[in-house]
Amino acid sequence: MKKNSRLRIKKISGVLFCILVYLFLFLPIVVIIVNSFNATTTKPYLSWKGFSLSWYVKLWKNQSLLQSFANTMLIAAISTVSSTVIGTFAAVGMYRYKFKGKNIIDALLYIPVVIPEIVLGISLLTLFATIRIPRGLITLCLAHITFCIPFVIFNIRARLAGYDISIEEASMDLGANRITTFFRITLPVLAPGIAGGALLAFTLSIDDVIISYFVNGQTKTYPLKVMESIKSGVSPDVNALSALILIGTIAVVVLTQSNLFKHKTSKE
């Protein structure tokens, strides 16, 4: 009896712990979604005044908010593509070739990852000011590419850890040149690592606040726009846009997972 009661207590405590963890993770998201339907029109927009879709209508009239979101998506797309291409070639090159200073370069890759974002933001701001690049879209893209590249390299290097280079040698023995071998052999093998690095870079770019704050100039991103609105109270139209972003993200994840499931089922 004592053993059964102990097992029951452990099971209940485990369930309660999981519930608390999921509440901690998802309750803020639920609050954002619920508040996007709030009919209140007075600051700080925290008191519930009833259900309404008016903020979803007003969202499309808030040009500054929509422009900031467009800037965020544009910067994320540019930085993701650029950092993925650079990171892929860098990871493959550092894996395949040995050269002087390789260990130093390898160690330097960890700097953008481990140092505080505020230090990296100030460093990039100083660099752009020194070489006289006006702050704006260009500096934001360059900054995001800078801190995204190491994450792409790390993902691809993890994929390269189990890579058998003999398949490339077999390809070239059969008459393929290096370029054909790379695009038809190496790239498909590394595709999961490249995709993972690209998704991580895209997420980091969209989510960044601190580094963007130092190099943005007059170009506002969505996180910076939200941060500015905190002083006066985040309006429900911001919550409405956040809810739409969340729905879009869930849709992409569900679509991706369903395609993967169909692909596995067809193979079986």
160-179: average pLDDT: 78
Structure-model confidence comparison of residues 254 and 122, the more confident one = 122
Q: What is the pLDDT of residues 69-125, one digit of tens each?
A: 999 999 999 999 999 999 998 888 888 777 787 888 888 888 888 888 899 999 999
pLDDT at 100: 81
pLDDT tens per residue across span 195-207: 888 988 998 998 8
What is the per-residue pLDDT for 1? 53
Using the predicted structure, report yes or no on whether residue 4 has a pLDDT greater than 80: no
Confidence of residue 225 (pLDDT cuts 50, 70, 90): confident
DSSP for residue 246: H
Residue 264, pLDDT score: 54
Burial status of residue 122 (CB atoms within 10 A of its CB: 0-12, 13-18, 19 or more): middle
Nearest in space to 147 (alpha carbons), one of 225, 223, 208, 68:
208
100, 115 contact by CB (below 8 A): no
* pLDDT tens digit sequence for 23-72: 888 888 888 888 888 877 777 677 777 788 888 888 888 888 889 999 99
| Structure confidence at residue 73 (pLDDT) | 92
Decide if pLDDT at 268 tops 60.
no
Q: Of 234, 215, 45, which is closest to residue 146 (Cα–Cα)?
A: 215
- Would the pLDDT of 226 be above 60? yes
Average pLDDT for 210-236? 84
| pLDDT tens digits for range 121-152 | 999 999 999 998 888 899 999 999 999 999 99
What confidence score (pLDDT) does residue 148 get? Answer: 92
C-alpha 253/C-alpha 239 separation (Å) is 21
Residue 3 is predicted with a pLDDT of: 63
Average pLDDT over residues 162-172: 77
